[in-house]
Amino acid sequence: MSNGVRSFPLLRLPIDCLKYIVQRMEEIDKFAISLVSKKTQSLVTSTNLLKCLEINICVRQDVSIHIVFPSLEQLTCSFKNYQVQLDNLSPRNIKANVFLSETERFVHNKPSYRFEDWLNHILGVYGRCGVRTVILDRLLLNFLSFKKTIKCFSRLVLSETYSNTQVREILKTLRPEKEVYLGYENKNADSESIHEVFMQNFDTFFLSSWTDVTLDDLLVMNSEEIRIRSDRVIDEKILNRFIKHWIAGSNKRMKYLAIAPQRFYYQLVSIDKAAVLKGIRHVLVPKECKRNFKDTSSFKHSIEGGYDFKRKDGTTGTIVFDRIKYFQLFVWP
Predicted confidence pLDDT, tens digits, the chain (333 residues) = 344 445 556 777 777 887 888 888 888 988 998 898 888 888 888 776 667 899 999 999 999 999 999 888 999 999 999 999 988 999 999 999 999 977 788 999 888 899 999 999 999 998 887 899 999 999 999 999 999 999 899 999 998 778 888 899 999 999 999 999 998 777 666 678 889 999 999 999 999 877 788 999 999 999 999 999 887 889 999 999 999 999 999 999 999 999 988 776 666 778 999 999 999 999 999 999 999 998 666 667 889 999 999 999 999 999 999 877 889 999 999
Residue 119 CA to residue 123 CA, distance in Å, equals 6
What distances in angstroms separate CA 182 from CA 162, 186, 231, one per listed residue?
10, 9, 15
By DSSP bridging, strand 74-79 and strand 63-68 are antiparallel
Closest CA relative to residue 192, chosen from 227, 213, 216, 173: 216
pLDDT of residue 4: 46
What distances in angstroms separate CA 172 from CA 75, 159, 169, 237, one per listed residue?
30, 18, 5, 34
Spell out the domain ranges in the chain. 10-50
Amino acid at 194: I
Q: Quickly count: other Cβ atoms within 10 Å of residue 16's Cβ.
A: 8
Residue 233 CA to residue 324 CA, distance in Å, equals 12
Local structure of 218: helix, strand or coil = helix
Residue 73 CA to residue 82 CA, distance in Å, equals 25
pLDDT of residue 18: 79
Diameter over CA atoms, the chain: 87
* Burial environment of residue 145 by CB neighbours within 10 A (0 to 12, 13 to 18, 19 or more): middle
pLDDT of residue 2: 42
pLDDT of residue 19: 80
